[in-house]
Each structure stands twice: as structure tokens, then as C-alpha cells.
Amino acid sequence: MGKGRQLAGLIHENWLRGRVKHLWISVSGDLHLDARRDLDDIGAKKIRCFTMKGLPMKGDRIDVDEGIVFSTYQGLISKTRRTGRKKNVSRMDQLVEWCSDGGSAESFEGCIMLDECHKAKNLYPSKGGMQPTRMGLAVFEIQQRLPRARIVYCSATGCSEPADMGYMTRLGLWGVGTSFPGGFQEFRDAFDQGGIGMMYVEILLLVQKICF
């Protein structure tokens, strides 16, 4: 079973629990065909999957009552100009508004599948003097704006060093109530000092949180 089917299965479970709006974000728009195939393979043919280019729109708003919106990471940072408007509209704003159905963003409890999530790893660049990438900032922003969304980080190469984990804000490894209340930088500093042994300790803590 590939990771695409696992993501499809998570969406299907949440769909059956009454959560009928979800975001699937990946590296290429063509991968929506793979997402469609994976949904079909697990028996979720009734769940519609829309690309950003193929979305029905009403003015600046996404005109879809339910389903999956499949976007690329590039799409998160893009803007579109609607007919008759002078100002560009942020795709991020459109997605957040659709998820929250025009109400409170905290009402959205659907899934945000961050497929190939390593594309966001440069939120905290490892080299001094470098700035965060727009993709890293966008992934961080959408998690902040939809605080009750069910976030899934999915990648075969999620991180190669502590700095690459900065966008994974939902892991619960840093912040209030953890061993690193000062935030990610405190977590990163401890990792840098503790080396590989520190990594094993944190993995065990994460597994304990998930299981218990």
C-alpha cells in the first residue's frame, strides 16, 4: 500500500464521520490523477476531487459544497485576477474561506494532506543569512489560520536535520505544555547539542503521545 492510498483512507474515514471538505496539497498538479485513482481504489468514488484550475467559482469564492480541493505548494502562494477586478485575489485566502464556509476558521475540522511535505522544509533555513522560503511560510500560515484542521505530514524525506522540521507545528514536540515551551528554536538548539541520541528520545516521546 502506497502513501497515496493511506492519505485517501484518512480522508475517507473523516468523510464518513461527516467532515466533507478537505485539502490535498502536493508538488504537481498532475498528481491529482493519482489522488483520484487512490480514492477510487479504496471505494471512495463518491468523493469529488477538484484541481484549482477546474474549480467552479462564484466571483472570488470557490463554489463547491463538499469534496477535496487538490492544490500544489506553488498554488498556496499564488494569486489570481478575477474578471473586472483590479486587485489580485490570494489563493490562500480563497482556500481558507472555503474551508471555513465563510464563518469562523476554527470551525473547519477537515484534513489538510501535506503530501511531499519536505517542500516546506526551509521555514527555518539551516544556513545563516538565508530567508524562509515562501512555500515554508505558506504551509506554516495555513496551519495557523485553520487551527482545528487535521494535518497530515507525508514524505519519504520529511527532514534531514532539525532545522527542516520547523513547519511541522502539529507534532506537539515544542511549544506550551512540552519540554520546549520556548518554541521551535529551543527545540532545535537542544537537538543540535544532543545529537543523534536526542533524536531517539524525541521520537519515543512522539510515539508515546500518539499511542497513549
Residues 116 and 193 in one domain: no
The predicted-structure confidence for 50-79, as pLDDT tens digits, reads as follows 998 889 998 888 999 999 999 999 999 998
Q: What are the grid coordinates assigned to 107, written together?
A: 470551525
Residue 167 within a domain:
no
Residue 165 within a domain:
no
DSSP state of 146: S
The predicted-structure confidence for 149-160, as pLDDT tens digits, reads as follows 999 999 988 788
Neighbouring CB atoms inside 10 A of 118's CB total: 18
> Which of 136, 160, 184 is the last residue in one of the domains?
160
- pTM given for the model: 0.87
Residue 194 within a domain:
yes
Residues 116 and 182 in one domain: no
Residue 105 within a domain:
yes
Higher pLDDT, 106 or 81: 106
Residues 140 and 207 in one domain: no
Residue 26 has pLDDT above 60, yes or no: yes
The predicted-structure confidence for 112-169, as pLDDT tens digits, reads as follows 999 999 999 889 877 666 789 999 999 999 999 999 999 999 998 878 888 888 999 9
CATH number of the domain enclosing 86: 3.40.50.300
Residues 17 and 41 in one domain: yes
Residues 129 and 200 in one domain: no
Q: DSSP 3-state assignment of 7? A: helix
Give pLDDT, residue 17: 97
Q: DSSP 3-state assignment of 21? A: strand
When divided into structural domains, the chain yields a total of 2
Q: 195 falls in which pLDDT band (50, 70, 90)?
A: low
Domain region containing 194: 172-212
